[in-house]
Amino acid sequence: MNKSIFACLVLYFLLSLNNVLATEKPDIRIKVAEYENSFEFIMPDGGTWEYGNEKGKIENNKKYIISGKLLRESIKKYHIIVGSTKINEPAQFSELANKYAFLSPYKIEIGEKPVNGFPENRLIYLAVKNFDSEEDAIKYQDVLAESNISSWIYYEAIQKPLASIKLTYKGKTLAEGQKSFFLKPTKQTILNKVEYAKGFSWHGFENRAYNGILEVKYGYSDNIECIETTDMETILAGVVPSEILPSSPDAALQAQAVAARGEILSKKGVKHFGCGYDTCSEQHCQVYKGITKILSKMSVAIKPTKGLVMENDDGTILDAVYGANCGGHSAANDKIWVSNYNPHLQGVDDLVAKGIIKDLTKEENVKDYIENPPDCWCGRKAEGASKYRWTKTITKDEWKIIEDTANIGNIRSVEIIEREVSGRIISMRLIGSEGQKTILKELPIRKLLGAGAVLKSSCFIAEFNKDKDGFINGATLKGAGWGHGVGMCQTGAQSRAKAGQNFKQILEHYFPNSKFVKLY
Ligand SMILES: [Zn+2]
Ligand SMILES: [Zn+2]
pLDDT along the chain (520 residues), means of 10: 43 36 73 97 98 97 97 96 92 95 96 78 95 96 93 93 97 96 97 92 93 96 96 92 91 97 91 92 90 88 96 91 96 94 97 96 97 95 79 97 96 97 98 96 95 93 97 97 97 95 98 94
DSSP tag of 486: B
CA of 382 relative to ligand 1 center, distance in Å: 31
How far, in Å, from the CA of 29 to the mean position of ligand 1? 11
What pLDDT does 496 receive?
96
| Whether 347 contacts 328, CB under 8 Å | no
Euclidean distance between CA atoms 474 and 397, whole angstroms: 8
Counting runs of H as helices and runs of E as strands, what totals does the chain give? 13, 27
pLDDT of res. 88: 87
CA of 221 to the centre of ligand 1 (A): 12
CA 266 to ligand 2 centroid distance, Å: 23
69: number of CA atoms within 13 Å, CB side?
A: 5
List, for residues 499-508, the tens digit of each pLDDT value: 999 999 999 9
Q: Are 504 and 488 in contact (CB under 8 A)?
A: no
Q: Which ligand is nearest to the CA of 348?
A: 2
b/e string for 382-414 if b means 16 or more Cβ within 10 A? ebbeebbbbebebeeebbebbbeebebeebbeb
How many angstroms is it from 83 CA to the middle of ligand 2? 28
Number of C-beta neighbours around residue 238 at 10 A: 29
Quick one: which ligand is closest to 31's CA?
1
Number of neighbouring beta carbons within 10 Å of residue 52: 12
Ligand 2 centroid vs 318 CA: distance in angstroms? Answer: 20
Q: How far apart are CA 130 and CA 263, in angstroms?
A: 28
Q: What is the distance in A from the centroid of ligand 2 to the CA of 244?
A: 14
> Which residue, among 515, 5, 8, has the nearest Cα to 262 in the 3D structure?
515
C-alpha of residue 188 to centroid of ligand 1, in Å: 23
Residue 189 belongs to what H/E stretch?
Answer: strand 189-196
Residue 202 has a pLDDT of 85
Ligand 2 centroid – CA 351 distance (Å): 8
pLDDT at 112: 87
The CA 409 to ligand 2 mean position distance, Å, reads 38
C-alpha 100 to ligand 1 mean position (Å): 28
Ramachandran area for residue 416 (φ above 0: left; ψ -120 to 50: alpha; else beta):
beta
- Exposed, middle or buried: residue 351 (CB in 10 Å: 0-12, 13-18, 19+)? middle
Whole-angstrom distance, CA of residue 51 vs CA of residue 488: 43
Rounded distance from Cα 56 to ligand 2 centre (Å): 51
Distance in angstroms (rounded) separating the CA atoms of residues 285 and 277: 12
Q: Cα(199) to centroid of ligand 1, in Å?
A: 14
What is the C-alpha separation between 369 and 346, in angstroms, rounded? Answer: 19
Closest ligand (CA of 494): 2
If you measure from the C-alpha of residue 377 to the centroid of ligand 2, how many angstroms do you get, rounded to a whole number? 6
CA–centroid distance, 251 to ligand 2, in Å, is 16
Find out whether 323 and 490 touch, Cβ atoms under 8 Å.
Answer: yes
Q: Are strands 123-131 and 106-110 parallel, antiparallel or unpaired?
A: antiparallel
Question: What 3 state SS string does 348-367 have?
Answer: CECECCCCCCCCCCCHHHHH
The answer for residues whose C-beta is within 8 angstroms of residue 170's C-beta and 6 or more apart is none
Of 292, 281, 337, 340, the closest CA to residue 458 belongs to 337
**Is 449 in contact with 402 (CB distance < 8 Å)?**
yes
In the reported structure, the alpha carbon of residue 374 is separated from the centroid of ligand 2 by a whole-number distance in angstroms of 11
CA 284 / ligand 1 centre spacing (Å):
4
